[in-house]
Amino acid sequence: MLLGAHCSTAGGVACALERAVRIGAECCQLFVKNNMQWFARPLREEELRAYREARHQAGLGCVFGHAGYLINLAAPPSPNRDKSLRSLVQEVERAEALDLPFLVVHPGAHLGAGVETGLARVAEALDEVIAATPGCRVRLALENTAGQGTCLGAELWHLTELYQRVRHPERLAICLDTAHLWGAGYDIRRPDGWARVWEELEGGVGLDQLVAFHLNDSKASLGSRVDRHEHIGRGRLGLEAFRLLLADPRFAALPGCLETPKSDDLHEDRENLAVLRALSAPERGARDRRTGGAVRKRESRARLERRRAQ
């Protein structure tokens, strides 16, 4: 798997790629505009030139986008729905200008209307966004959720349902978040937990629709429907879930990005990536005592925390 992280675009979109290089990433996720604002001014040509140059120099295997958090595709007819659709259309257009292959987007929250109504609204919204961006190659990668509040997407069949309802499913894709799977009740610490995920996806949209992973441990309990990310090996998931995923050859070419807490110097990203790489190549961890020791300490801490939680 290509390992990387979500990187800030503070200072310009090209800066996200420079930060990815600083942490030794092989892939990068970024926001195509401020994630807490509805709209943004158009990208200037000098920004695009700087981005293209940074992209060339970075040599990353994959760069992709994530949609803003204000967008709710399951909203009822309202000014909020209108802004959500206009905002996502703009983000797709910006992603196209940045030559990103896909844009990760949450299905949305039904706000008490119920799952069936919510899914119908999301499908209609996706149809409108796709119709408004003809000719764009950018796919909308639906992300599974922990199911907090009235958020859709905790059950993987929700994503399958959206594929079946939209008029152009070829414009869709899937992004899986490990912490969200755990919060939704998938015990991916175990091989049979991952097998359940793959069976549901294969029986629904097909594993070929999977384009990215979010690699996050979780502070929340299994099935809690709570979304709280934690550093790799320090949460309730522990390390085994990531070891199992990274050992699966079917996903060796896909990007896996951290969305874990970080400080300005980004040392947490470097540490988390070192842990993931040690898990994916145990012999490398054996050669590097410092990394190997860190992994063993996290494994011991994770086992202790799981026993306390039981």
Upper half-sphere CA count for residue 204 (Cβ side, 13 Å) = 22
For 129-152, the pLDDT digits (tens) are 999 999 999 999 999 999 999 999
Helical axes 156-165 vs 115-131, angle rounded to 10°? 50
Q: Which amino acid is at 248?
A: D
- Please report which helix (H) or strand (E) contains residue 146, including its range: none
Domain containing 129 equals 2-309
Q: How many domains does the chain have?
A: 1
Residue ranges for the known binding site are 66, 106, 143, 177, 180, 214, 227, 229, 259
List the structure tokens of 100. Answer: 């990103």
3-state SS assignment for residue 305: helix
CB distance 104 to 91 below 8 Å:
no
For residue 131, give the CATH number of its domain.
Answer: 3.20.20.150
Q: How far apart are CA 271 and CA 277, in angstroms?
A: 10
Q: Which residues are annotated as a binding site for Zn(2+)?
A: 66, 106, 143, 177, 180, 214, 227, 229, 259
Kind of pairing between the strands at 229-230 and 27-31: unpaired
Is residue 44 helix, strand or coil?
coil
244 neighbors 186 (Cβ within 8 angstroms) = no
Give tens-digit pLDDT for 182-235.
999 999 999 999 999 999 999 999 999 999 999 999 999 999 999 999 999 999
DSSP assignment string, 80-123: HHHHHHHHHHHHHHHHHHTT-SEEEE---B-TTS-HHHHHHHHH
Closest CA to 64 of 13, 132, 21: 13
C-alpha closest to that of 69 among 41, 32, 42: 32
- Tell me how far apart the alpha carbons of residues 200 and 160 are, in angstroms, rounded to a whole number: 9
Q: Are 30 and 9 contacting, i.e. CB atoms less than 8 angstroms apart?
A: yes
Q: How many CA atoms lie within 13 A of 183 on its CB side?
A: 26
What is the pLDDT tens value at each position of the chain, 310 positions in all? 999 999 999 999 999 999 999 999 999 999 999 988 999 999 999 999 999 999 999 999 999 999 999 999 999 999 999 999 999 999 999 999 999 999 999 999 999 999 999 999 999 999 999 999 999 999 999 999 999 999 999 999 999 999 999 999 999 999 999 999 999 999 999 999 999 999 999 999 999 999 999 999 999 999 999 999 999 999 999 999 999 999 999 999 999 999 999 999 999 999 999 999 999 975 344 434 344 444 444 544 544 454 445 4
